[in-house]
Amino acid sequence: MAMLEVKNLSISFGGLKAVDDFSVTIEKGQLYGLIGPNGAGKTTVFNLLTGVYRPDTGSIFLDGQNITGKKTIEINQSGIARTFQNIRLFKELNVLDNVKAGLHNHYKYSTIEGIFRLPGYYKVEKQMDERALELLKVFDLDGEWDYKASNLPYGKQRKLEIARALATGPKFLLLDEPAAGMNPNETAELMETIRFVRDNFDMTILLIEHDMKLVSGICEKLTVLNFGQVLTQGETSEVLNDKRVITAYLGE
What are the structural domains, with CATH classification, of the chain? Answer: 1-79+170-252 (3.40.50.300), 90-163 (no CATH)
Q: Per-residue confidence at 104, pLDDT binned at 50, 70, 90?
A: confident
pLDDT at 111 over 80: no
> What's residue 42's pLDDT?
96
Q: What percent of the chain has pLDDT over 70?
A: 97
Q: Per-residue confidence at 231, pLDDT binned at 50, 70, 90?
A: very high
What is the chain's mean pLDDT, rounded? 92
Whether 93 and 148 have beta carbons less than 8 Å apart is answered as: yes
Question: How many C-beta atoms surround the C-beta of residue 64 within 10 A?
Answer: 9
> What's residue 73's pLDDT?
93
> What's residue 118's pLDDT?
72
Q: Per-residue confidence at 76, pLDDT binned at 50, 70, 90?
A: very high
pLDDT at 141 over 70: yes
Q: Per-residue confidence at 115, pLDDT binned at 50, 70, 90?
A: low
> What's residue 116's pLDDT?
58
Element (H, E) at 46: helix 42-49
> What's residue 54's pLDDT?
97
Whether 157 and 186 have beta carbons less than 8 Å apart is answered as: no
Q: Determine the average pLDDT of the residues in 187-212.
A: 93
> What's residue 210's pLDDT?
87
Question: How many C-beta atoms surround the C-beta of residue 204 within 10 A?
Answer: 25
Q: Determine the average pLDDT of the residues in 130-148.
A: 96
Q: Per-residue confidence at 193, pLDDT binned at 50, 70, 90?
A: very high
Task: Give whole-number Cα distances, 227 to 38, 58, 222, in Å.
Answer: 9, 18, 16
pLDDT at 109 over 80: no
Radius of gyration of the chain (CA): 19
pLDDT at 110 over 80: no
> What's residue 251's pLDDT?
57
